[in-house]
Amino acid sequence: MHDLSDTTADELRTFRRALHGIPELALEEYQTHAYLLAQIKAWQNETMRIRTVADLPTAILVRIQGSAPKRTIGYRADIDALPVTEATGLPFASKHPGKMHACGHDVHMSIALGLVHYFSTHQPKDNLIVFFQPAEEALSGGKLAYDMGLFTGEWRPDEFYGIHDQPALPAGTLSTRIGTLFAGTAEMKVTVHGQGGHAAYPHLVKDPIVAAAELIVQLQTVVSRGVDPIQGGVVSIGVIQGGFANNVIPDAVHFEGTVRSMTKTGLEHMLARIRQIAAGVALSNDLDVTVELESGSYLPVENDALLAQQVIDFMQNSDQIAFTLAKPAMTGEDFGYLLQHIPGVMLWLGVNDTHPLHSPELRIDEAALLPGFMALKDFILWRMAQ
C-alpha cells in the first residue's frame, strides 16, 4: 500500500516539470545531471552508492544494497531530449530554445527518481541499480555505457527493466509483450557521386540525380521483395539534397533515411541488401555511390520471454494496475543494445495525448506518473520476493 512517507503524485509532478524545463541534447545533459544528482544525494544513506563516470560525465548510476540479495535488479531511465522547438504553451515549457522533451524522457526520469526515493527509505531485498542514461535519442548512449564496462562486477544487473511513453494509451496504463517490442533501426546516409555539367548536354555528364532516383525506388524492394511479409520492415527516405540550378546537373546527390526491422538478423539482411543494390546502381550508371549504415545500439528491443511473462502475469493479476498486451512497434530504442547483453523487459507507459512522440505539441498527461511509478515499484517488490 502507498503511505504518506512514500513518493507522492505531487513529488513526481515536481520532478517532471523541473526536468521538462531544462531539456538537453545527447551527451550535453549537464543541467539535467546536476538536478538529478542533487535529488539523489539528498536521499543518500548507508545502503546507497552513487557513481558518476568521467568518460560519460552525464551518466549516473545508483546502487542500493539489498537486505538479503539473491540477484541485482536494474532499472534504466534515459535523460536526453530532442532538437525540437516546443509548441505546447505550458507554463513549465522548455527554457532551452530548439530543445524539448518531446519523447517523454522527463517522465522516465521522474519515475526513476521516485524509485530511488522509495527504495532509499524501504531497503530492497535484492540489490537495485538505477541507471540514468544519456544519449538515447542519438549517439548510442546505451552502447557507450555497456562498452565502457559500466555494468561489471557488483554494478552488473542480472535483469534490466525500463519504460517508454505511449501517447496512444490511457494515462497510467502499462503494456508489454513477450519477444520483440520495438524494431532495430539503422541510420542510412547515401551520396551518389557523378559528374555534373550543362543540363542541355546530358550525354556529357554522369547524372547523379537520375541515379539517386533509381536507387531510392529500388531501395523500396528491400522490404517488398526481400523481407518476409509476416516479419515486416521499413526503408524510408527523409532527406534528399542535390542541385542548385534548373539547368545544371550537379556533381553529387545526398540522401538519408531510416532502416527498421523487428529482428537483429532481419536488420542485418536489409543492410546487406541495401549495399548490394547501391553497388548495382553505381555499376549500371558508371558512377560511385557511398553508403553509410549505422545501427549503433539501436537493435531490436527483445524482451526476455521468462521475465516478460512474469511482468505480464503480475500486472494482469493486480487490481491496482491497468495493463494491456502490446503489439510490436517500429519505434527505435537503444535499450535494445542492453537487452542483447542483459535479459530484461521494456514496457509502454500510457500518457494519453493526441499528439505523437517527437511532436512539438506533445503534452504528457501527468495522471500517468503515479500509476506508472506504483506499478513498477510494486513489480520490483514482487520480483524481489521470488
Helix residue ranges, H only, 45-125: 105-121
Q: Are strands 60-64 and 127-133 parallel, antiparallel or unpaired?
A: antiparallel
State the cell numbers at 318: 493486480
Amino acid, single-letter form, for residue 141: G
- From its phi and psi, is residue 78 left (phi > 0), alpha (psi between -120 and 50) or beta? beta
Residue with cell 549537464: 30
Residues 6+ apart with CB under 8 A from 316: 323
Q: Where are the beta strands (DSSP E) in 262-364?
A: 288-294, 301-303, 323-325, 329-332, 344-350
State the cell numbers at 71: 540477484
Q: Quickly count: other Cβ atoms within 10 Å of residue 280's Cβ.
A: 14
Interhelix angle 369-384/9-20, nearest 10 degrees: 110
Helix (H, G, I), strand (E, B) or coil at 33: helix
Query: Is 137 a catalytic site residue?
Result: yes
Residues 6+ apart with CB under 8 A from 230: none
Residues 6+ apart with CB under 8 A from 265: none
From the list 11, 78, 80, 86, the catalytic residue is 78
Task: Point out which residues pair with 186 in neighbouring strands.
Answer: 259
Q: What is the dihedral of CA 271, 274, 275, 277, to 10 degrees?
A: 160
Question: Residue 363: CA atoms inside 13 Å, Cβ hemisphere, count?
Answer: 9
Report yes or no: 134 and 127 within 8 Å, Cβ to Cβ.
no
Question: Residue 118: CA atoms inside 13 Å, Cβ hemisphere, count?
Answer: 28
Name the nearest CA neighbour of 210 among 180, 257, 252: 252
Query: Is 268 a catalytic site residue?
Result: no
Q: CA end-to-end span of the chain, whole Å?
A: 19
d(CA 25, CA 309): 35
From the list 11, 137, 302, 333, the catalytic residue is 137
Active-site residues, by number, are: 78, 137
